[in-house]
Chains A and B, each alone.
Chain A
Amino acid sequence: MKHVTEYRDADLVHVVLDGIRQTVTKPWVLMEICGGQTHAIVRHGIDQLLPTEIELVHGPGCPVCVTPLELIDKSLAIASCTEVIFTSYGDMLRVPGSGSDLFSVRASGGDVRVVYSPLDAVKIAQQNPDREVVFFAIGFETTAPPNAMSVVQAQSLGLKNYSILVSHVRVPPAMHVILGSPHNRVQGFLAAGHVCAVMGYWEYPPIAEKYGVPIVVTGFEPLDIVQGILQATRQLEEGRCEAENAYPRVVTFEGNRPAQKLIERVFEPCDRKWRGIGTIPDSGWRLRQEFAEFDAELRFDVEAIQPDESPLCIAGQILQGLKKPHDCSAFGVKCTPENPLGATMVSSEGACAAYYRYGRHVAGQKQEE
């Protein structure tokens, strides 16, 4: 598989790992922002190959995990309406709300459909003019452009039966929260390559400078990840704190300008609640006033729901890099992918799910120590 296999080459990975070993002289804590990176790290066993000085903690970049419980409960209420076809990325279907999930809503007769793109949801709306089609528009900067595009397309098609339930979040405000916390342990970031493909990394130099941390834009294959770690470690050892790009085959400094313009046209910044973390000012997007007719929250009068979060789940601390999945007493015992207590155990990008699926043996050993 061209453009993938090269970046999984064991020999090249070990050359870079040697470079990290030669560079590192003291302990450093790095955070990979994106859940996709967390999974790649545990799936390929990269964490086991790093020198002990390098500790990786896992960031909040899992869109499913940070979607607030209230919004999931709202999605369940909307999806249960008989006139609604509720469309979503597949990942959201298993995420538990307060008492149910979208799978259960489907089993009880709700019309819940998995789509690969919001543009498919627009098509469903065109084909079903007598039904209300709602798309669950969650995600970071990566999914914002297609979600915005679906609204623009629905508008130009004159669709009156399409709306989106928005829960968009942005990476930079979360980095501010993590770095500004008195408990922060993170000394350097591996920035999420795909977010930067859309947004560029012009937002990062001020953060690197303000908090004195290196930020290295990093990809998702093993070679990309070890390269990101090498560059971050080099900066830390040399006392530098810059925004660097270790993923230049995909990311430019400016990013994808047309995509950014589309986001600006459809969405405006707003405060957002992050599941397990709390409200972060200016950390999300909502639909602009001129697109309000496509806002599912306004279209459906779903009553205020008092969400009920499991007291055992420590997902919030995991998402901020304060704890690791195997620090949780419920991990693998009361909380498993079949019976998740929190979203981090469900999503394909969730840190707990990654540890459970790929890294239980390591987690187990550490627990025994």
Chain B
Amino acid sequence: MGDARKKTIMQGLVCPRPLTHDEQVVLGHGSGGRMTQDLITHYFYPPFENPTLLRGDDAAVVTLPEQGRLALSTDSHIVSPLFFPGGDIGRLAVCGAVNDLAMVGARPLWLTAGFILEEGLSLQILERVVGSMKVATEEAGVIIVAGDTKVAEREKVDRLFVNTTGIGWVPEGREVGGANARPGDVVLLSGPIGDHGIAVLAARGELAFETTVESDLAPLNKLVEKMFEASQAIHVMRDPTRGGLATSLNEIACQSEVVIRLEETSIPVRPAVAAACEMLGFDPLYVANEGKLVAIVPAEEAEEVLEAMRSMSYGEEACRIGVVEESPPGRVLMRTAIGGTRVVDALSGEMLPRIC
């Protein structure tokens, strides 16, 4: 090696080799040429390795496990900071797609990943994000079969955006949808709410106090499979992400034209989340989750589904939070801890901290 270098120098005039950019993203990484190929083979192929992806064609060709219906979902992920307690944008991008598919009863199989990188982004950061996507795909049992990378000029994007599209297969007999809630059904929640929103706020350094809250970010497809083992009759499932539990339930109440009645005392909130919300003037019902689901099931199946949820790590703290009734349709009402009743509205606009 040493000799070779000497020889090169001795050769005199040679075409100067371009610098290898192995520390940060440069515009050339998005050129579509050799640098793009280098980026893909070094940073994306090794962690996501699978025959479909490595074929390297313009589109991935996949084979369905059985006849049936497909579920498709796409989501773009922008989060600041990229890394927060309990997760990062990579895990978020995988779990987001996986959970959206799982919420319609689909078994997530394949993902695509599109990256928009800011010129100057440290490749170490990209490596961390991609590594965390690998871990999340393995946990969820999905593979990334296609991808894309673009590089935008400095300050045209905030470091790194990821878009994921998920494709899943819906087994026969599953009819899950927001319009399927029926009077008499029971509302189940997989665990305490608000962890993700507060963890991200804290990681932004926007709180004037410290908190140990971690995001609940998790793939929920295995939890959902377990629930279907207990009952095929699950009517509605939704993961209450942005807008929180309140907004998800309002969507369902409107789609199904029913009223959802909640019991305030039965909705679990961790003390640290409750305290942070109290100080900021937030209502945990509106704070984002990334690893929770709400399910609406017939009353006679509720106990079995609940038991199935509790047998899984992401559903250990699952509980009943309310019931579905006929009227007034389109509303979510809550019996308060002291016995009053109030409307639980959908989130309107951005959540803003109060004045005093």
Contact = CB atoms under 8 A, between A and B. Distances in A.
Interface of A: 1, 4, 8, 10, 13-14, 36, 42-49, 63-64, 89-91, 93-94, 103, 114, 116-117, 138-140, 142-143, 194, 222, 336-338, 348-349, 356-362, 364
B348 interface: yes
Given A94-B349, A361-B341, A349 B336 contact: no
Given A36-B354, A45-B342, 18 more contacts: A1-B274, A8-B337, A8-B338, A10-B338, A42-B342, A43-B336, A46-B340, A89-B354, A94-B349, A94-B352, A103-B350, A114-B353, A139-B355, A222-B338, A348-B281, A348-B355, A349-B355, A360-B345
A94 B345 CA distance: 18
Interface of B: 206, 208, 271, 274-275, 278, 281, 328, 331, 333, 336-343, 345, 348-350, 352-356
Given A116-B208, A338-B348, A49 B338 contact: yes
A43 B349 CA distance: 19
Nearest to A64: B355
- Chain A CB count within 10 A is highest, among B208, B339, B340, for B340
B341 A338 contact: no
Nearest to B355: A89
Nearest to B352: A90
A359 B355 CA distance: 22
15 contacts: A4-B278, A43-B342, A44-B337, A45-B342, A49-B339, A89-B353, A91-B355, A114-B352, A138-B355, A139-B356, A222-B338, A336-B348, A337-B348, A338-B348, A360-B345
A15 B342 CA distance: 21
Contacts of A103: 349-350
B342 A143 contact: no
- Chain A CB count within 10 A is highest, among B281, B328, B341, B342, for B342
Contacts of B281: 348
Main secondary structure on chain A at its contact with chain B?
helix
B336 A44 contact: yes
Nearest to A47: B340
Contact of B355 (A14, A63, A361): A63
Contacts of B274: 1
List the 3 closest A-B pairs by CB distance, nearest first: A45-B340, A90-B352, A358-B342
A120 to B, nearest CB: 8
Contact of A359 (B275, B343, B349): B343
B342 A359 contact: yes
Nearest to A120: B208
A337 B342 CA distance: 17
Given A1-B271, A4-B278, A10 B339 contact: yes
B271 to A, nearest CB: 6
B355 A10 contact: no
A89 B278 CA distance: 17
B271 A90 contact: no
Given A4-B278, A49-B340, A116 B349 contact: no
A91 B350 CA distance: 10
Nearest to A355: B343
